Structure 1
Amino acid sequence: MKENHAITIKDIAKKAGVSQATISKILNDYPDVSQKTKERVFRIMEEAGYRPSHSARTLAQKTSKLIGVVYAGRINADFDHPFFIEVLNAFKRTIGMHGYDLLFFSDETFQKEENFYARCLYYKVDGCIIIAGEDVQQSIEDLTKSEIPCIGVDIQLDGPKSGYVMTDNKKISQSVVDYFYLQGHRDIAYIGGANESAVSNIRLKGFRESIHEYGLTLRPEWVIEGDFFEQSGYEAGLSLFKGNAQKPTAVFSSSDLMAFGFMRAMQELGVSIPGDVSLVGCDDQLAARYVQPPLTTVRQNKEKIGRLAALMLLDFIAGRASTARILVEPELIGRETTASLLL
């Protein structure tokens, strides 16, 4: 790959089969160039390692071509949840095709009295993607109520230039209860995230409502709070199946990682999946296909969520939209951790 300084606009124009004037228009975001051509040119720039300097128009408007990445509240295990990584990768690829770079904000590198809005002003970011966490800070609201365009992922934003995109979390739980009910299960347990998590609360509400709609009884001890990570699923499994109390025949784990922990607990206790208990996870992580038995799970379209977040934010920045609230349909993927009780 050539160094950035060795690549010129003329080189890019030749590779893309367009004029240098067209390249200049694309860099300055003129509206008379098709989106398809813009995306092709940005892809060629990316492959060639070319990074254009700020154009005169960009400098005049005092834009930075920077997008802030903000993690709202506490994110367990240093942001390493696979769901957010895959969403952010899709976001990065899409936003990068339009000439933007990402700037990550960390609480650890700033004094406590500084907030996200002040930091965004300092770096002159053109917009922000806000990733959901727990115990969301007040400064997140200050940012989303400002003039800076913001898109939330798994967090509902309602500022003047804010929107959000997430999976329809209520439908996630409804689809699982429907699936279990059709298999003959009536004793269904739930392992969720922390109470501070808005997404977890939506899933739990959907689960409770669906159980109620089918006229089933939900035992309080069968609703267990976790944290979306493996160890809490393991502990939930021990809580549900150790001892002589009545056991559920089916368990919905609201993340695949917790489901993996639950499976480890069942293996230690000698409980068969799906012979003794059926299990459904959520996220459809790559590992769900390869654990034994392969995990039945609810797929979140992480690529679509990331791309939508990028395109929606670009619309906000360009003034083409003010607010947007998008729910993406989930999909239940049947594998081998569930079994029918019906003859």
Structure 2
Amino acid sequence: MIKRYTIQDIAELAGVSAATVSKIMNNTGNISLATKERVKAIIEETGYSPTHSAKSLASKKTNLIGIVYAGKINVDLDHPFFNKVLNSFKSQIGLLGYDFIFFSNEQYKSNYLARCHHYNVDGVLIVAGDDIEEAIFQLDQSPIPCVGIDIELKGERSSYVMTDNYKVSHLVVEYAYMNSIDKIGIIGGTHDSRVSMLREEGFREAMKRFGLPVNKDWVVHGDYYEESGYRLMNEMIAKHKENLPELLFAFSDLMALGAIRALRENGLQAPDDIRVIGCDDIEACRYAQPKLTTIKQDKEKIGIFAAKLLSNLIDKKGKGRSLLVDPELEIRESCGLANDKE
């Protein structure tokens, strides 16, 4: 059987106290270089894991982060946007010595709070879809540090980070105005999606600001996935073929790609007949025909911000706050201005 070494074992082998081992592992105290090197060499030789090290024992931390994919639909490990965000988060928080446990949301009324207590997690990352279950808000209001991605948490020990969704739509409308386009349609997300609501509010506000009319026939809602973009574009063409928008803004790249497919099958082309803009800047945008113009969300920065916010909450270095990340318009072929260098 493989021996599980304790901090006391390391201390005895090194001929020092457990407190000295703790100081060395936490890089604190006035410890001689020779002692540090001896203790670190023993830790390496024995395979003693810092996950349950003196730092963890002294602070009662487990160095374990719970990751929750909230909501019944639309968010999973394969989602191209959230996958990139999560990889960035894992890289950043992993540097701080944390491990991860994923909480399944297959059971819609899952008690996340009880499961967090069961595994004694130090904090939780909540990645939001639509139709958020009540258990998420119970977790938000608990003493457990929480950071949300695309969900506005309000608990005393909660923070959240998301793209500035008002600015997302303002960038699209500003681009249209500068290119003398006044007929703009949108394929939004589901009605109960907070992100979709913010983007639609931003769209309507920007249209008003630039003096452009909103045609209700060109405002429809999907579920962020390609098939809904395809279906809704087909329906729009069938109902309003003689009066289609000049520019279509889909609230996800996947819906935009679906809309382009529908245009093609109906004998129309982007950008010749309708310019198309998506949102997220997933990898597929660069290889689509035509290459998809999109609103770039800085997925790496969102993940890094989330990690830093959660780490600070766990270490009680700051109160809950929100961080908004600026989006960026990436012009590609689907808007007729193929000036990208990709």
**Same fold per TM (> 0.5)?**
yes
- C-alpha separation between the residues in 2 aligned to 1:207 and 1:233? 18
Structure 2 residues not aligned, in runs of 5+: 8-18, 31-42, 338-342
Are residues 51 and 274 of structure 1, via their aligned partners in 2, closer, same or farther at CA, if it must alter by over 3 Å? farther
In the alignment, which of 179, 186, 194 is matched to residue 182 of structure 2?
186
Q: Aligned AA for 1:268? A: E
**Are 1:281 and 2:281 matched, yes or no?**
no
Change (3 A) 1:189 1:59: same
TM-score, normalised with respect to structure 1: 0.83
- Alignment match, 1:139: 135
1: CA distance, partners of 2:154 / 2:58: 30
Partner of 1:235: 231
Q: 1:299 offset after TM fit, Å?
A: 0.4
| Aligned counterpart, 2:105 | 107
Provide the residue aligned with 2:121 in structure 1: 125
1:297 aligns with 294
**1:86 aligned partner:** 84
Any stretches of 5+ residues in structure 1 without a counterpart? Answer: 10-20, 33-44
Q: Is the 8 A contact 1:232 1:261 kept in 2?
A: yes
CA distance in 2, matches of 1:142, 1:89: 26
Whether the aligned pair in 2 keeps the contact of 1:151 and 1:309 (CA below 8 Å) is yes
Alignment of 1:207-286 (within 5 A): 207-243=203-239, 244-286=241-283
- What number of residue pairs does the alignment pair up? 309
Q: Tell me the residue number matched to 1:38.
A: none
Contact 2:297–2:328 under 8 Å retained in 1: yes
Matched, 1:332 2:329: yes
Q: Is the CA contact 1:279–1:338 (under 8 Å) kept in the aligned structure 2?
A: yes
Q: Secondary structure at the match of 1:107?
A: coil
In the TM superposition, residue 61 of structure 1 has moved relative to its aligned partner by 3.4
Give 3-state SS (helix, strand or coil) of 2:85's partner: helix
What secondary structure sits across from 1:323 in the alignment? coil
**Alignment partners' CA distance in 2, 1:263 and 1:31:** 62
Q: Deviations over 1:254-297 (max 9, x none)?
A: 11010110111011011011111111111111110111111111
Paired residue secondary structure (1:155): coil
In 2 relative to 1, CA 127–77 (structure 1 residues): closer, same or farther, beyond 3 Å? closer
**Could you tell which deviates more after superposition, 58-67 or 320-329?**
58-67
* AA at the equivalent of 2:105: D
Residue identity in the other structure for 2:185: A
1:73 to 54, 71, 74: 71
Report the Cα distance in structure 2 between the residues aligned to 1:298 and 1:160, rounded to whole angstroms: 32
CA apart distance, 1:211: 1.2
AA in 2 matched with 1:249: E
- Aligned residue for 2:37? none
- The Cα shift of 1:196 comes to 1.3
Is the partner of 1:201 in helix, strand or coil? helix
Change (3 A) 1:236 1:288: same
Judging changes above 3 Å, is the alpha-carbon distance between structure 1 residues 83 and 126 closer, same or farther for their aligned structure 2 residues?
A: same
Mapped to 1, the partners of 2:243 and 2:169 lie a distance apart of 23
Question: Which 4+ runs in 1 deviate beyond 3 A?
Answer: 21-32
Identity %: 48
Larger radius of gyration: 2
Separation of aligned partners in 2, 1:167 and 1:111: 27
**How much has 1:27 moved relative to structure 2?**
4.0
Alpha-carbon displacement from aligned partner over 1:63-101 (angstroms, at most 9, x marks no partner): 211101112212326442211110000001111111111
Which residue of structure 1 lines up, in the alignment, with residue 200 of structure 2? Answer: 204
- Is residue 304 of structure 2 the alignment partner of residue 307 of structure 1? yes
CA drift of 1:239 comes to 1.7
**How far did 1:107 drift?**
3.1
Cα distance between partner residues in 2 of 1:69 and 1:329:
25
- Separation of aligned partners in 2, 1:133 and 1:29: 40
In the TM superposition, residue 174 of structure 1 has moved relative to its aligned partner by 0.6
Q: Secondary structure at the match of 1:242?
A: helix
Q: What is the CA-CA distance between 1:221 and the residue it aligns to?
A: 1.6
In 2, the alpha carbon distance for the partners of 1:111 and 1:182 equals 46
